[in-house]
Structure formats: structure tokens, C-alpha cells
Structure 1
């Protein structure tokens, strides 16, 4: 059987390698390795205007982490701690998501990707989580994915994909879901009440998690994405 092709939304940023110091399309290797280890073919999707044109060739979509989403997309002014906003990436990934939903292929949103899933349905975000929960436990150290516990709703699609309802997750974020959008259900929470996972009510093919599974040892979410991408039956979301 041919391995399914899973597109992964990529960054556009300044990077240095070898003798080069320039703008690049890039993605942490852990995303690529996790998708490949699950038995799928990973394909990077740059944040450009026409990247959604690749969706007909995909069997699944992974919306990766990254900078903050423009607050204007959820009707909020820019907060003092909001950073890394790229309007072109917001637009490109929103188009990717719409095209993927139109085809009915499975979508996994990670960190920023989960937030995009919520904003796309009219949901809102907390722009700086420490102001809400009173601590820095979701991003303790710069550049380090520190763990914290998460509780998952029993019987949820998220729990079925993970195979359990309590786990430690690698975390690195300062924003989070505030109000869920239309047809969006929260399915996991940190001990402080922060939303850690969401599902779409009108399709079985969409999951979002606030943590970074690619930085941990649990392959279950990538197995879920690959299994859905291999299924072949496409049911567009309503």
C-alpha cells in the first residue's frame, strides 16, 4: 500500500547554516521525523499565498507551531506580549485548513496549529497566559519543552487517539484558547484549567493539542493522523 502524504505547514524566517545567513522556509526536524516514523510521507508547505493548491495531493494536514496569530483575526487589539505575528502565514494556513476541511482529510493542529483551528471557527485566544493563570508553567525556560500534566475527557476523540486520559506533555507556549469557536469542544485541560486539546464537532477528522507531541516520546497522535490519512474515505466537514 502506498504511504499517505501528509503536508506540514512550515515557517518562513531568518536562518543560518553553513556559510549562509538568509531567509528560509524551515521546520523543526522533529515534526518531519514523527510523521515519517508513523509511516507517512512528510511534505513541507511554505506559507505562501497559493500553498493551499497542494491540498488535492495530500492525504492529511499537520498545522505546526510558531509565532502568535494576529489578534485582529479574533477581534482583539494587539497585546503587549504578543509577538511573532506573520499575517502571510495566518492567511496561508487558514487557506490550507479550509481546503483540507473541504476535502475531508484529517487535520492535526499542534500549539499554534490548535489555536488556528479555534480562531478559524470564531474562537478567541488568551494573548499572554501567565496573566490569566498567574504562573509561567507552560513556558518555564526559553527553548526548553518542560513537561506538565494534562487530563483528557473520557470518551473523547482525543482520549481514543492517545489511549489514556492522564499524561505528561512537552509544553512551550504563552497563548491558549480562551472561548472555543462554533462547533469546537475542549477535550483536555492542564491542572490550572488551560485548554490543552480541542475537537471539531462536525467531523471526526480534526484534533488540536496545545502541547508539542513531536518533542516527546509518544507517537499516538501521529499514528492517529496517519491512520486517518490512510483510510481513503473523505467526508468534508459541514
Structure 2
């Protein structure tokens, strides 16, 4: 953990794009949609961007943080969970997969509070030996357009303590959890039965959500991470 006594330092993983444009420039870039740092800031935290790096550095990076967020992004490469690539699965992002899996493992090993968002939830499941549904319908409104649907918490879970009743959330995904990773439990469902949140029921604060809280106004999930990440909280479930 970092030695801060003020606002917790939350590391957020980033995209790594071969070409991005701004001003007169068109260059490779590590980038993050502004909704992520804004959400962390609104919830009372400080944000550090974590672009893909050598996975062997993950322990050192996580040791300097109070909390970790694995952001949304491209599909997890199916070889990571023992499957062949389906025709609707996107191209691999191998540097991100390797780096973010190492961040997840480092956070779990150190007890650092961990939040997975969309891809991040799926990667958490894969890191713990689970598998994914490679394509599903009904959770994307249109290409490049976030939709909204309701998720219902499972009573008695960490997520239900954050959001006790069903609520509408911003969503954009075509993959989902299939077989749960070891020790994970489901803590929210969509109306069609899709797993919308997973968590570890004991030990450190670990939660994955299928939706995109950074695209909405609801601070509850990120605020819960920030509270757990405060040095006085010790990383445990609040």
C-alpha cells in the first residue's frame, strides 16, 4: 500500500493503441476514457494510469497503490481460458491481457482492493480459472452507443451492501462470464440471467461489474472501492 494519509491512490489500467489522434498528432498512445479518472476523483480518490508494462513489475506497481481498477476494453484472448477464438470475438490485446492478469494476481496476493469493470470483470474471472461466453446478444444498443438495463443484486453480498435494490446501469458488452472462477460468487444478474457482478466473499475487497459505472452518475461502486482503499480500512470488506 502507498504511504498516503489523504485521498487513496487508485491505479487504473489503460488501453494501448497503435494509432491515436489529437491536435496535429497521430501516434501510438496509452489512453483512458476520461470517465474513469473523473469517477475516481468524484468518489474521493486520486488516479494513476497504469499502461501495459512488463508483467514482472506488477507486484512493485501494486505495492505503491491503495486500490486497483481494471478498465473495460477489448475481448480477452480465448486461449487464456482454454478456448478457440469464435468468429465474433475481437482481435487479441496480448500486452493488455498479460499486464492486467499480472495486476490482478498482484492485487489478490497483496490484499489490495480490486475493481474490475466489464473486460476487467471478465479478466478477473479468467485469472481465477473461469471461462467466458464469447458472444451474446442484447447488451449493446448500437455500435458505439451505450445502452441501459437493470441489474438485480444478490442478497447478502458485498454488492448488495453497496446497491441494495435493482438499479439501471450503463452497459456495452457482448461477452459474459460462463463458468465461474474459483472462490468467486455471483452478486448481481441482469433480467435475462446474465452475470452482472462477481466478488470474492471473504478476505480483501474484490468486486467485478459487467457494466460501465464511468459512463453514468452513480458513484456507489467506485465510492465503495475508495473507502476500502483508505489506508485505515486495511483493504478489507467495509
Does the 8 Å CA contact 1:67/1:85 hold for their aligned counterparts? yes
Q: Which residue of 1 aligns with 2:96?
A: 89
Q: Which residue of 2 aligns with 1:141?
A: 142
Q: Which residue of 2 aligns with 1:99?
A: 106
CA displacement, residues 54-80 of structure 1 (integer Å, 9 cap, x when unaligned): 111100000000000010111100000
Q: Which residue of 1 aligns with 2:194?
A: 194
Q: Does 1:16 align with 2:17?
A: no
In 1, the alpha carbon distance for the partners of 2:233 and 2:213 equals 26
Local SS of the residue matching 1:48: coil
**1:233: Cα distance to partner?**
5.0
Q: Which residue of 2 aligns with 1:209?
A: 209
- Where does the alignment leave 5 or more consecutive residues of structure 2 unmatched? none
Local SS of the residue matching 1:98: helix
State the superposition RMSD in angstroms. Answer: 1.4
Does the 8 Å CA contact 2:40/2:222 hold for their aligned counterparts? yes
Does the 8 Å CA contact 1:103/1:234 hold for their aligned counterparts? no
- Where does the alignment leave 5 or more consecutive residues of structure 1 unmatched? 131-136
In 2, the alpha carbon distance for the partners of 1:232 and 1:220 equals 20
Q: What is the count of residue pairs matched by the alignment? A: 229
**1:140: Cα distance to partner?**
1.4
**1:145: Cα distance to partner?**
1.2
Does the 8 Å CA contact 1:63/1:108 hold for their aligned counterparts? yes
In 1, the alpha carbon distance for the partners of 2:178 and 2:231 equals 33
State the TM-score, normalizing by the size of structure 1: 0.92
Compared with structure 1, are the counterparts of its residues 235 and 221 closer, same or farther at alpha carbon in structure 2 (3 Å cutoff)? closer
**1:202: Cα distance to partner?**
3.6
Q: Does 1:184 align with 2:202?
A: no
**1:102: Cα distance to partner?**
1.7
In 1, the alpha carbon distance for the partners of 2:25 and 2:119 equals 28
Q: Does 1:79 align with 2:71?
A: no
Does the 8 Å CA contact 2:10/2:48 hold for their aligned counterparts? yes
**1:113: Cα distance to partner?**
0.3
State the TM-score, normalizing by the size of structure 2: 0.92
**1:88: Cα distance to partner?**
1.2
In 2, the alpha carbon distance for the partners of 1:70 and 1:196 equals 20
Does the 8 Å CA contact 1:74/1:124 hold for their aligned counterparts? yes
Q: Does 1:28 align with 2:33?
A: yes
2:132 is matched with which residue: 107, 125, 129? 125
